[in-house]
Structure 1
Amino acid sequence: MHSVHSDSRETKERTASPLSRKYDLSSGPITRSLLRLTAPILGTSLVMMLHSLVDMWCVSQLGSEAVAAAGTGGFYIWLALSLASIPRIGAQIKTAHAMGEKQYEEAASFIQTGLFLACSMGLLLGLILLVFRHPLIHFYGFRDPSVISSGITYLTTISIAMPFFLINPVFSSVYQAMGNSRLPFLINATALSANLALNLLLIFGPGPFPALGVFGAALATALSQCLMTILFFLIMFRSRELPVRLHWQAPIDLSKAKEIVRIGLPYGIQEALFALFSIVLSRLVTSFGNQEVAAYRVGAQAEAISWQTAVGFSSALTAFVGQNFGAGKPDRIRAAYKSALLLSASVGLFASLLFFLFGSEIFALFFPTEPFTVEAGALYLKILSYSQIFMCIEITTAGLFGGLGNTRIPSAIGIVFTSLRIPGAYLLSSFLGVRGIWWIITLSSIVKGICALLAVFYLKRFRPRVFFSPRS
């Protein structure tokens, strides 16, 4: 039986077109292939990080109240986007497996199904956020009416554009699964440029443009996401440089939708709970004042230096491992994981040093005239610095499991220890104030990183066939 599968796979590889071999991650030098795939993904992650930082910097020029307003609405957007992980992860993994098996029509079907699921979820989630925008913002308990009003405005604007927010991550992931990470980078960079220009025009209103403040920030973000979706669709359906072709009239395969949901659901639940827990933590932080909320919000954006980079390595690893898992090449999987883990941990070390030594300087860029906010933010980053390496390890290891089609293990680790942040934050904050919240975030990240490594060690040591054997 094994020889039949091997012969079939070898035949497919011999008959693959030069175009398909261009995107083949199951052959060639491992480190070079991984870095070739990773570099544009890291560029995309950097662009996404800059996208968020540009938004936050522009809003911060309006004051900490504006940051608090946009930040609270942003947490709900994060919650909605976390559910996009279901079609994103499921479609990416199944597309990578199909690419590794040289089943390009199968890959196309998974891509179209994933996009359909993302669009449907975006419409539903946008409607929910729009209908319940008032109680969602009032949940935070702000006393300043201007913060409440701005938060509702921000959430309303973003909710209308929610389908675009969910579709774009799916597009980026399936392109990466096909071995083409350059195109998502270029499209994200284009959207970043558009977002920067729109922010300057709509928030501050130079010349004849009206100054729209927080509403302008939300509108700029929504329009740039819409632009990304248009570019992705035009290229996906018209490009002749991809081994996978999509068709507008192609029907949606319900069996593939179930498979995508089955794989993506554990990760989606983990991400949704993570966002939900962050909302609860933000509600607790709110009781300490607007400066602490701003510190939490901007500090999270600063952490994107390591978080987004680790996500980039994780996405590359998922695509690389997925294709090699479909092709039945476990040795390449092991070598790729070691390389990605080393690189990701190095980035975590850099972020740790940066946050520990230059936290005040980072926050001074956002709040040059608010010394109390700078002090609160510097404290947050200093405490957060102890966890950056472990966070990178956890996220990168999730990419390994994802490529193997096993999203339950990393999701279980994330759900269990992230959920413990809530009781831990309430307990420690009663003794340490807001520092207790910062410490529980850091400690839980450290534990998650250690558990991720232990899970890999256990499966490699005691269940190697389950973990690294090719698919039958």
Structure 2
Amino acid sequence: MNKSQNLTKDDIPTLIKQLTIPASTGMFFNTMYNVVDTFYAGVISTKAVAALSLSFMIFFMIIGLGYGFSSAITALIGNALGKKKNLLASIYAHKGILFIPIVGLLLMVVGFLCSKEIFIFLGAKEQYLQICLEYIYVLLGGIPFFMLNFSLNAILVATGDTKTYRNTLIFGFFANLVLNPLFIHGFLFIPAMGISGIALATVLIQVINMLILFRKVLKTNMVNFLKPEYFLPQKKIYKDFVVHGLPSSLNMVTMGVGSILLTYFVSTYGYKAVAGYGIGFRVEQIMLLPALGLSTAVLALVSNNFGAKKYDRVSQTIYKALKYGFIICTFGVIFLYVFGELIVSQFDNDAEVISYATGYLAVEVWTFYAFVTLFICVSTLQAIKKPKMIFWIGLYRQIVAKYMVGYTIVIYFALDFKYFWIGVMVMIYSAAIFAFLYTRNELKKLNIPDI
């Protein structure tokens, strides 16, 4: 555990800040990393921006499984550390390092087999389709490195270290600024690769980050090579990963499927709408970063304190995280209403694309409060080992309700673009309210003080 902090004894508000700020900062640079990709894709063409948007949906669905399992590994290690079962925590860490990359290799194969058909389903054809494939095929080759980084970061978060991953993401952002133009346009012996160069830069940066994270994990003494057999698959431990990680992972998959579904309905308005949505989505993500950082803090704090049976600290963590999240959301809403159009216009000068992006943001900023609630509730359920409902909430929010909204507003009534996002906002709030009430009830069953 990080020597400068004790997750089961130190002041909760202080710990939340210590964990959230590095996590949010790292996520900021990760999002800016994607913004840089979008900017350079815009230099190539509007179709290249749209291709990045489509590809992101597919890629997110694949690596989402890794992210979901990493949350489970963090929770399991955190619970073990809270109970002072350090050997069990170490075994979870060793096994987890290989588990997620194995899952990633299987998904990589699926991605290569299915990507083209998904792009065609989403309306890509001819040159647009070719651009999508050039980008996604290179990115898919890097999946094992993405997955290994999820494994390594899961161990660090469980011990209270959110700074190392932050540092790798900051490094990645600056490296991307250099590598993107280098690989896109070529230099000396490096050929011009166009949009596939953007993907290659991402993969190379993941490889470097993997080395940094592995070095830091070794310093925690949670993992070592004295007993190599600890790394080998073990049925009981892998079963724990599946039982506790599958609901979260499937939730991430539903997010990917939901994004594809969302993009399908958006694509009925044309590829410029897809480009506008892609730009607006990335801008929106910047504002949601503190909420994602809070969810990381909640996962680490609740898992450790739940394992230590310090239930009053569990309740306090959730309450404080919600309070801080809502305050941050208010600033985000104001900021995007004032500067949203100016920010969007930096990525594409097409008036129609800008109109679609700003129309998306004008509605979606009001969902921030719902997203904060969802993120914190999902992290809490994962941390207290009650993850089953996470999948069902995701299934409703990402697929069932989203399809109903899309079909009704876009297909049946053929309403304007903004009405689609209003329908999506209502759907997200309904999921957030249910998630809050369900989480509150689960906490009561465990005799944890009301939040």
TM-score range, shorter chain: over 0.9
Q: Following superposition of structure 1 onto structure 2, how do residues 257-296 of structure 1 map, counting pairs within 5 Å?
A: 257-296=238-277
* 1:98-150 superposed Cα distances (whole Å, 9 cap, x missing partner): 1112222211211222221211111111112123333232222224x221111
Contact map agreement 2:16 2:294 (CA 8 A) in 1: no
| C-alpha separation in 2, matches of 1:429 and 1:122 | 35
| C-alpha separation in 1, matches of 2:64 and 2:421 | 22
| C-alpha separation in 2, matches of 1:339 and 1:133 | 42
SS of structure 1 residue aligned to 2:44 = coil
2:322 aligned partner: 341
* 1:231-268 superposed Cα distances (whole Å, 9 cap, x missing partner): 2223323x2xx252333442333211111110111111
Contact map agreement 2:302 2:384 (CA 8 A) in 1: yes
Higher mean alpha-carbon deviation, 133-142 vs 337-346, is at 133-142
1:452 aligned partner: 435
TM-score in terms of structure 2 length: 0.93
| C-alpha separation in 2, matches of 1:139 and 1:20 | 48
Residue of structure 2 aligned with 1:375, choices 355, 367, 378: 355
Contact map agreement 2:371 2:432 (CA 8 A) in 1: yes
Between the two proteins, what is the percent identity of the paired residues?
22
Residue 302 of structure 1, CA deviation: 1.2
Q: Following superposition of structure 1 onto structure 2, how do residues 190-229 of structure 1 map, counting pairs within 5 Å?
A: 190-205=171-186, 209-229=190-210
Higher mean alpha-carbon deviation, 432-441 vs 292-301, is at 432-441
The reply to whether residue 308 of structure 1 matches residue 298 of structure 2 is no
Contact map agreement 2:149 2:209 (CA 8 A) in 1: yes
Unmatched segments (≥5 aa) in structure 1: 1-18
* 1:369-406 superposed Cα distances (whole Å, 9 cap, x missing partner): 21111111110110112211111121122222222111
The reply to whether residue 439 of structure 1 matches residue 419 of structure 2 is no
| C-alpha separation in 1, matches of 2:314 and 2:402 | 33
Q: Following superposition of structure 1 onto structure 2, how do residues 223-238 of structure 1 map, counting pairs within 5 Å?
A: 223-237=204-218
| C-alpha separation in 1, matches of 2:262 and 2:19 | 36
Q: Following superposition of structure 1 onto structure 2, how do residues 29-428 of structure 1 map, counting pairs within 5 Å?
A: 29-143=11-125, 145-205=126-186, 209-237=190-218, 239=219, 242-247=220-225, 248-250=228-230, 251-367=232-348, 369-419=349-399, 420-428=401-409
| C-alpha separation in 1, matches of 2:122 and 2:203 | 24
* 1:190-248 superposed Cα distances (whole Å, 9 cap, x missing partner): 222222211121124467754322111111111111211122223323x2xx2523334
Contact map agreement 2:41 2:48 (CA 8 A) in 1: yes
| C-alpha separation in 2, matches of 1:441 and 1:111 | 38
SS of structure 1 residue aligned to 2:19 = helix
| C-alpha separation in 1, matches of 2:342 and 2:113 | 40
CA change 1:84–1:467 in 2 (3 A) is farther
CA change 1:411–1:348 in 2 (3 A) is farther
| C-alpha separation in 1, matches of 2:288 and 2:256 | 15
- Equivalent residue pairs, number: 443
| C-alpha separation in 2, matches of 1:427 and 1:387 | 20
TM-score in terms of structure 1 length: 0.89
Contact map agreement 1:81 1:166 (CA 8 A) in 2: yes
Residue 350 of structure 1, CA deviation: 2.2
| C-alpha separation in 1, matches of 2:188 and 2:283 | 32
**2:217 aligned partner, one-letter code:** M
Residue 29 of structure 1, CA deviation: 1.6
CA change 1:320–1:359 in 2 (3 A) is same
| C-alpha separation in 2, matches of 1:135 and 1:333 | 45
SS of structure 2 residue aligned to 1:468 = coil
SS of structure 2 residue aligned to 1:365 = coil
| C-alpha separation in 1, matches of 2:282 and 2:188 | 30
| C-alpha separation in 1, matches of 2:343 and 2:156 | 34
Contact map agreement 2:370 2:432 (CA 8 A) in 1: yes
| C-alpha separation in 1, matches of 2:262 and 2:167 | 35
* 1:12-31 superposed Cα distances (whole Å, 9 cap, x missing partner): xxxxxxx7754530012222
Unmatched segments (≥5 aa) in structure 2: none
Contact map agreement 1:344 1:396 (CA 8 A) in 2: no
Contact map agreement 1:393 1:449 (CA 8 A) in 2: yes
SS of structure 2 residue aligned to 1:221 = helix
CA change 1:73–1:417 in 2 (3 A) is closer
CA change 1:36–1:135 in 2 (3 A) is same
* 1:31-89 superposed Cα distances (whole Å, 9 cap, x missing partner): 21222122211122212211211111221222211011122122110110111134212
Which segments of structure 1 move beyond 6 Å, counting only runs of 4 or more? none
| Higher RCO (CA 8 Å, separation ≥ 6 residues) | 2
Residue 459 of structure 1, CA deviation: 4.3
| C-alpha separation in 2, matches of 1:457 and 1:121 | 32
